A and B are shown apart, each in its own frame.
Chain A
Amino acid sequence: MNGETGNWQRVHPASPFVRGWLALAALFFFFGRDAAERLLRGGPVFDERFAGRAPWLLLGGGTMLLLVVAGFVLSWYFTRYQVAGGFVRVTTGVLVKQHRQARLDRVQAIDVVQPLLARIFGLAELRFEVADAGQSAVHLAYLRVAEARRLRAEILDAAVRDAPAHAAAGPSARGPEAQRPGVQLDAQFAAGPAGSAAPAAPADPTERPVLAVPPRRLAGSLLLSEQAVVLLLGAAASVLLSALTENRSFSFYLVPAGLGILAGFWASFSKGYNFTAATSPAGIRLQYGLLDTLAQTLPPGRIQALRISQPPLWRPLGWYRIQVNVAGYGTPGQDGERSARTTLLPVGTLQDVTALLDLVLPEAAAAQPGATKPGATNTGSPDANAVLIAGLGGLAPAARIQAQRDTRHTTGNDDGGFTTTPRRARLLAPLGWRRNGFAETGSALLIRTGRWWRHLTVVPHGRTQSIALHQGPVARRFGVVDLVLHTTSGPVAPRVIQAGLAEGRALLLAQAARLSPKTQPAGNPAGDPQEGPQHG
């Protein structure tokens, strides 16, 4: 069709029917309903009245069926794809032709999606994401599962091979384990420590399982989520109101609300079911889903920002949730699938969190906070844990120690290096002022917020797009500023709230210096002077 070398291929011939099964089902329903109704009423399938119309009905139905099928077949025939020469190309369209090509080294994520029907037929959809925050750049539906996996491996191989010259390799390039012989095919990706839980053997032999979320924990996390609390409170309130007013109608309002929440539970459960995370040379691989399954692959350095959260009811159980910003996935909104795709961990223990953090942002937590902390000459991992623990659950010391802390907050303290809201602004956030704060590590900025709903946001320096200081009239009275970090769109919106004016200014300047490569423009993409000594 055009002068490109290499072989163009078509997606699986069954795919138009799998995609358009709803239209076919509607057609059969429309024409089959009449006959079925008669059958149910006990009449014969073909009575006299029907026999007269039968030829016309059959003709009409046959024509429509033929048109629909012909449309499917035409769209299938004119959809062709090719992976060659560093590009993936797709042409579609019968009348209006569309030719799309995307560079393999610009891949942000690759997903293999299997809706239920496609799973039955052994088919899968391949989605290729680039950084445009909209819908998938390229999606091929449907391929045989083996073919989809092969294509994914091919694309990722090309992407990882091309990456070193490109800044996108980012801060997750070199890790201490890269030299270890074994599963690594490529030193690009530093695999983290294997978790204690060992999920079932993956299909891809290069994958190494890291963690799995047991279904019981997932169910528990849903039962202890905010929606469950709302449901219980609503039920209690309506029962109480019914008892007090002797009016039954309150329970009627409860039924649809309860059904909606239950449907939400079911969606969350079926999305998060059988969640496993694994490492492969090409990146992190997440797989999950009960009916529709999805396997995501995130090449190294593609995570733009990350947030670890803990609702209050999860605290006694020590569970956390991780959400990420990935360029190309966009903002989740109401779309259940997108919110599942931006979830790195639906529910997990502290051990799972550290294992995943080691994988996706190996240096984020591995460098000591501040610049001049004594005693950080060893591996740095105890420090990393201290920062993480302080970020997840820490509080600044209360009043008496605070005064003495203010004078030497850079030289180390017992709060993991977090700088919190100054005491003078405690009226602005009576609960959160000891909690809201930030800590700088060699490769990322850690922001913690929330006393009840705890959040810890991690933004790698190399992934921040721009920074802004904000201050309104009330904040000025208390001498505090907000610092906003802009990253690609997603569920995580990093914001340091109510930092002291001097600290905020200093942080702005320090971050600005970290964002810009000071040395050779192309040599050190992460642009961080601390990075070398950490792993050299």
Chain B
Amino acid sequence: MPTEAIDPPGISWLRVSPRYLTARLLGWGAEAVLVTAALATPLALVLAGTWRWPPLWFAVALPSAYLLLALWRLVLIPRQVRAVGYAERLDDLLIRRGILFQRTLVVPYGRMQYVDIAAGPLERALGLCTLKLHTASAGTSAVIPGLPASEGARLREQLTARGEARLAGL
């Protein structure tokens, strides 16, 4: 089924860095290896003969089921990364994400309380950062992941300047 984007037409979205895909894939790989290893422990013990209880089919099915799910998520990751986008308009910032579960968020510059930039070790190695906007509402979860560090800094300065110019307060 071709999916129709819910965001309003006529907006030129800026996409996040392609290196963010690398970060997501690395994260996925680490998680998949760890969880598969943990789930495969009963299988190894049953095969070695130390454990008798879990029947062989169950010991096989457990890691396989997880692997199938993980592979399904792996297929989705590139689509998800491509679906993340943001657009700076004159008076507000738009952030979209998701294909199956879509969300388009509008934050007026005047409503911003502060801007966070965070970078974990993996993101830092890839030269990426995550930008987060805070408003007076806890429901606003305005996060742009996978920005190049320079773009993140530019966006932060830009947002702060525009926010000051349009400050609405509470």
Residues of chain A whose beta carbon lies under 8 Å from any beta carbon of chain B: 108, 131, 133, 166-168, 327, 462, 464-473, 476, 481, 484, 486-489, 493, 501, 504-505, 508-509, 511-513, 515-518, 521, 525, 527
- A131 to B136 CA separation, bound complex (whole angstroms): 8
- A467 to B95 CA separation, bound complex (whole angstroms): 11
A contact residues around B138 at 8 Å (CB): 133, 488-489
Are A486 and B168 neighbours in the complex by a CB distance under 8 Å? no
Are B6 and A505 neighbours in the complex by a CB distance under 8 Å? yes
A515-B108, A516-B92, A517-B166 known; A471 and B6 CB under 8 Å? yes
Are A517 and B110 neighbours in the complex by a CB distance under 8 Å? yes
The answer, among A466, A467, A504, A513, for a CB contact under 8 Å with B6, is A504
Residues of chain B whose beta carbon lies under 8 Å from any beta carbon of chain A: 3-4, 6-8, 89-92, 100-111, 135-140, 142, 165-170
Are B6 and A465 neighbours in the complex by a CB distance under 8 Å? no
A471-B6, A473-B101, A518-B91 known; A465 and B169 CB under 8 Å? no
Are B102 and A470 neighbours in the complex by a CB distance under 8 Å? yes
A327-B136, A487-B137 known; A517 and B168 CB under 8 Å? yes
Identify the 6 closest CB pairs spanning chains A and B, nearest first: A516-B91, A486-B137, A465-B137, A486-B139, A465-B135, A468-B105
Name which of A465, A504, A509, A517 has the most chain B CB atoms within 10 A of its CB: A465
Instruction: Give min CB distance, A444 to chain B, whole Å.
Output: 16
Are B135 and A508 neighbours in the complex by a CB distance under 8 Å? no
- A505 to B170 CA separation, bound complex (whole angstroms): 26
A contact residues around B109 at 8 Å (CB): 516
Are A515 and B92 neighbours in the complex by a CB distance under 8 Å? yes
Q: Which residue of B lies closest to A169 (CB)?
A: B169
The answer, among B7, B108, B165, B166, for a CB contact under 8 Å with A466, is B108
Are B8 and A488 neighbours in the complex by a CB distance under 8 Å? no
The answer, among B103, B110, B170, for a CB contact under 8 Å with A468, is B103
Q: Which residue of A lies closest to B10 (CB)?
A: A509
Of the A-B pairs whose beta carbons lie under 8 Å apart in the complex, a sample of 19, sorted by A's number, is A167-B168, A327-B136, A465-B107, A465-B135, A466-B105, A466-B107, A466-B108, A467-B105, A468-B104, A469-B7, A469-B105, A471-B102, A501-B4, A515-B108, A516-B91, A516-B108, A516-B166, A517-B110, A517-B168
A466-B106, A515-B111, A516-B166 known; A472 and B136 CB under 8 Å? no
* Known interface pairs A467-B106, A508-B106, A521-B167; 10 further A-B residue pairs with C-beta atoms within 8 A, sorted by A's residue number: A131-B170, A167-B168, A466-B137, A466-B140, A468-B106, A472-B100, A481-B6, A488-B136, A508-B8, A516-B91
B contact residues around A468 at 8 Å (CB): 103-106
Count of CB-CB pairs between chains A and B under 8 Å? 113
Instruction: Give min CB distance, A531 to chain B, whole Å.
Output: 15
Q: Which residue of A lies closest to B142 (CB)?
A: A466
A contact residues around B106 at 8 Å (CB): 466-468, 508, 511-512, 515
Are A501 and B140 neighbours in the complex by a CB distance under 8 Å? no
Name which of B90, B101, B106, B138 has the most chain A CB atoms within 10 A of its CB: B106
- A67 to B140 CA separation, bound complex (whole angstroms): 49
B contact residues around A133 at 8 Å (CB): 138
B contact residues around A493 at 8 Å (CB): 139
Instruction: Give min CB distance, A364 to chain B, whole Å.
Output: 18
Name which of A489, A512, A518 has the most chain B CB atoms within 10 A of its CB: A512
Are B169 and A166 neighbours in the complex by a CB distance under 8 Å? yes
Instruction: Give min CB distance, A479 to chain B, whole Å.
Output: 8
Are B8 and A509 neighbours in the complex by a CB distance under 8 Å? yes
Name which of B8, B104, B168 has the most chain A CB atoms within 10 A of its CB: B168
Are B104 and A469 neighbours in the complex by a CB distance under 8 Å? yes
- A505 to B8 CA separation, bound complex (whole angstroms): 6
B contact residues around A501 at 8 Å (CB): 4, 6
A contact residues around B142 at 8 Å (CB): 466
- A168 to B167 CA separation, bound complex (whole angstroms): 11
- A472 to B100 CA separation, bound complex (whole angstroms): 6
A contact residues around B7 at 8 Å (CB): 469, 505
The answer, among B102, B103, B167, B168, for a CB contact under 8 Å with A462, is B168
A contact residues around B137 at 8 Å (CB): 465-466, 486-489
B contact residues around A327 at 8 Å (CB): 136, 170
- A426 to B3 CA separation, bound complex (whole angstroms): 21
Name which of B111, B137, B140 has the most chain A CB atoms within 10 A of its CB: B137
- A327 to B139 CA separation, bound complex (whole angstroms): 14
